[in-house]
Structure 1
Amino acid sequence: MSNQAQEAREALGARLRGFRKDAGFASGRAFAVATGWAESKVSRIENGKQNASEDDIRTWCLKTDRQEHTKDLIATVRHIDELWLEWRRQLQAGAESRQSKALPVYARTKVFRIWHPTLVWGTLQTADYAAETLKQVVSFYEIPNDTEAAVGKRLERQQYLYRGNRIFNVLLAEQALYSNFGGPDVMKGQLDRLLAVMRLPRLSLGIIPRSAPVKIWPGNSFSMFDDRLVLVETYSAEFSVTQPREIELYTKAFALLKQSAVYGNTARELIMTAIHHFDRRSPA
C-alpha cells in the first residue's frame, strides 16, 4: 500500500478510536461485545492495520451515536480504496476502460516526467507493440479480450504529443530497447518509431545505458503528471501519489535517474544498435 493510503487509514482509525472512547467504551473488547465483532477486528481498524468497510463505518457510527459523521467517513473509506486500485478490479471489464481513463489526465497535464526501466512508454508505442503488451495484460489478469479497442484508446494519447505546449520528459533504461514484445519485426518497428519521435520539439527522450553509473536504484516505472499526480504500477496494483511531500521524492528520483541518461546522437546510437540486434534475429 502507498504511504499516503496507509497514513489515511491510520488517521481514520484514530478518529474511530476517539468515537469509541467518547461513547463510553473504555476498551476495544467492550466495543467488540456491543458490535458482535472480534476484538482483534476493532484493534486492527483502530490501528490502521485493516480497511474498514462501509458497513463497518455505519455500525461504528450507530454504536457511538455519531451518525452525523457516517457520510463523511464513508467518503474517506472510498478515497482510501481509490489510492490503491487492484489491477483485477480496474480491468474487470477489459483493458479499454483503463486506457480511456488516462485521456482526461493527459489533457490536463502540461509537464510529463516518465520513467520506464523495461519497456517503451505507452504513448510512444506502435500499434503492433501496444497490442503485444496488452495481450499479455489480458492473459495475465484473465480479463475479457478487448485488445483491439484498448490499443485504439492507448494510441489516442499520441495526439497530445502534437497539440498544445506540453513538455514530455521521458526516460527509458537500455533494457527497454531489448525487451522483446512480438519478435524482431515488431521490435524494429517500435525502435524506428523512437527514432522518429526523438525529433519532436517538445519531447526529450533519454536512455540510461545498462553500464551507466546510477545515482539511485531503478525501482518501479512511474509517470508524473505536473506536480499533482504520480502513478506507480506493480504486478498487483496501481497506486496514486498526490501528497506533495511524496511527489517531491519522485521529482528527486527522476532528477537522479536523469543524471545517468544520454540524449541526442548518443541515444540514437543505442537505438540503432538495438535495431541491428533484431536485424540479426529476423527470419532470412
Structure 2
Amino acid sequence: MSTDYQQAREALGARLRELRVSGPGGRLTGTALAQQLGWPRSKISKLENGRQTATPEDLRAWAEATGLPEACEELENRLRGFESHIRSWRRQLAAGHRPVQENWSAEVSRSTVIHAWEQAVVPGMLQTAEYARHVFTRSAELQNSPRDTESAVRARVKGQDWLYESGRKFRALVWEAALHARICPPSVLAAQLDRLTGVIGMDTVELGIIPLGAPLKIPTANGFWVLDERLVITEDWHAELWLDDADSLALYLRAWKTLRESAAFGTDAQNLIRSVRRTLTA
C-alpha cells in the first residue's frame, strides 16, 4: 500500500475521531459508538487509526451517529480522493465483474492510443469470449466475488469494438509465458492463440511478443496499461492502482519502451505464437 494512500487513510481516521469526540451530543466513547452502530469495538479503532478503509455506508452511519450528518459529504469526498488511486478488488467486485468491465470500457472509449504490457495473461482487449470466461471464473473464485461471468464476458467483448474504430491504436506487449499459461483448457487456449495470430496486421493493433529466452533490460514485473499518456492502470492481487501524475506516466512509458526492445513483431511474432500453438496438439 502506498505511503500517500496510508497517510490519507490515517487523515480520514483522525477526522472520524474528531467527529466522535466533538459531536453536538457530547463526546462519544468508542464503545458507545460501536454499540450504537452495531459494530465490533475493534472496527471503530481500526477506522480511526487508518488500519481499515471505510465504505461510503460506514461514513454515512458514522456521521449520523455522531449527530453530524452534514459531515457526510466531506467524508465521502475524502474517501473518493484517495480511492481514485488505489481501487481494492474487494470493493470493485462487490457487485461482480460486469460493472468493472463497463467502467473500464468507458475509460478506454476516451482513449486514442493505449500502451499495454501483460506478462501472465492475454490482454483483455484481445481475449476470445471463452478465454475471458475462464479468466473471470478464476478471478471470482479467488476474490470470493459474485459470479456474473456471462454478463462480464459480454461487456469485455463489447469493449473490444474499440479496436475497429478508425484512428485508434492498441500497442500491446505480451510475454511468451502468457501464451503457455493454462488458465483454461488447451482447446480454449489454442483458439485464443489463433486469435492473436489473426490480429497481427490489423492497422489498429501493434502486438509484440517477448520470447522467454530474450534478454531483458528490466524485470517483467506486473502488467500495466497507459491510456493516452494521461492515465496508468496497473494491478496486483488486492487492488488496481490508477496513476495520473506526470512522473508516473513517464516512468511507465519508459518501462514499456524498454520492454519493447526485447519483443518480436510481425511474422516473427506470428511464428512464435504458432510454435506455442503446436505444443497444444503435439
Cα distance in 1 for residues equivalent to 2:47 and 2:248: 24
Task: Please state whether the residue corresponding to 1:152 is helix, strand or coil.
Answer: helix
User: What is the distance in 1 between the residues matched to 2:160 and 2:62?
Assistant: 43
CA–CA separation in structure 1 for the residues paired with 2:160 and 2:81: 30
The one of 143, 147, 150 aligned to 2:145: 143
Query: Post-superposition shift, 1:83?
Result: 2.2
Question: Counterparts of 1:15 and 1:251 in 2: how far apart (Å)?
Answer: 37
Instruction: Give deviations 1:195-229, integer Å, cap 9, x for gaps.
Output: 11112112110111111111111111111111221
What one-letter code is carried by the residue in structure 2 that aligns with 1:115? W
Q: Any residues of structure 2 matched to 1:220-231 within 5 Å, and which?
A: 220-231=222-233
> 1:50–1:155: structure 2 CA closer, same or farther, 3 Å change rule?
closer
2: distance between equivalents of 1:91 and 1:46? 25
- Name the CA shift for 1:95/1:55 in 2 (closer, same or farther; >3 Å): closer
The match for 1:160 is 162
Partner of 2:5: 5
Aligned counterpart for 2:262 among listed residues 233, 246, 260:
260
Task: Tell me what 2:188 maps to.
Answer: 186
- Please show how residues 39-54 of structure 1 align to structure 2 within 5 Å: 54=59
- Which amino acid letter does the alignment assign opposite residue 185 of structure 1? S
Q: 1:87 to 1:8 in 2, by over 3 A?
A: same
State the 1:265 CA deviation: 1.4
Counterpart in 2 of 1:278? 280
**SS at 2:84's partner residue?**
helix
Q: Which residue in 1 is equivalent to 2:178?
A: 176
Instruction: Give the letter for the 2:136 counterpart.
Output: L
Specify every segment of 5 or more residues in structure 2 that has no aligned partner in the other structure, as ranges.
19-26, 32-45
- CA offsets, 1:226-253, max 9 Å, x none? 1221111111111211222122211111
Q: Count how many residue pairs are aligned between Structure 1 and Structure 2.
A: 263
Residue 127 of structure 2 corresponds to which residue in structure 1? 125
Q: 1:228 to 1:183 in 2, by over 3 A?
A: same
2:106 corresponds to 1:104: yes
TM-score, normalised to structure 1, is 0.78
Query: How far has the Cα of 1:149 moved from its partner?
Result: 1.1
C-alpha spacing 1:14/1:90, structure 2 compared with 1 (3 Å): closer
| Identity within the alignment, % | 36
1:13-69 per-position Cα deviation (integer Å, ceiling 9, x unaligned): 9999xx9xxxxxxxxxxxxxx77569xxxxx9999777688479969xx9xxxx999
CA contact (8 A) 1:94 1:146 kept: yes
TM-score, with normalisation over the residues of structure 2?
0.79
1:201 maps to 2:186: no
Deviation at 1:156, TM superposition (A): 0.8
Query: Counterparts of 1:97 and 1:138 in 2: how far apart (Å)?
Result: 14
1:90 aligned to which of 86, 92, 97: 92
* Residues 1:7 and 1:255: Cα distance change in structure 2 (over 3 Å): farther
CA gap of 1:135–1:13, structure 2 versus 1, over 3 A, is closer
Counterparts of 1:2 and 1:129 in 2: how far apart (Å)? 33
Describe the SS at the equivalent of 2:115.
strand
Code of the aligned partner of 1:200: M
Structure-1 separation of matches of 2:48 and 2:151: 44
Aligned to 1:22: none
| Cα gap change, 1:6 to 1:228, in 2 (>3 Å) | farther
The residue that corresponds to 1:243 in the other structure is 245
What 5-or-longer segments of structure 1 have no aligned partner? 20-33, 39-43
- Residue pair 2:201, 2:266 contacting (<8 A) in 1 also: no
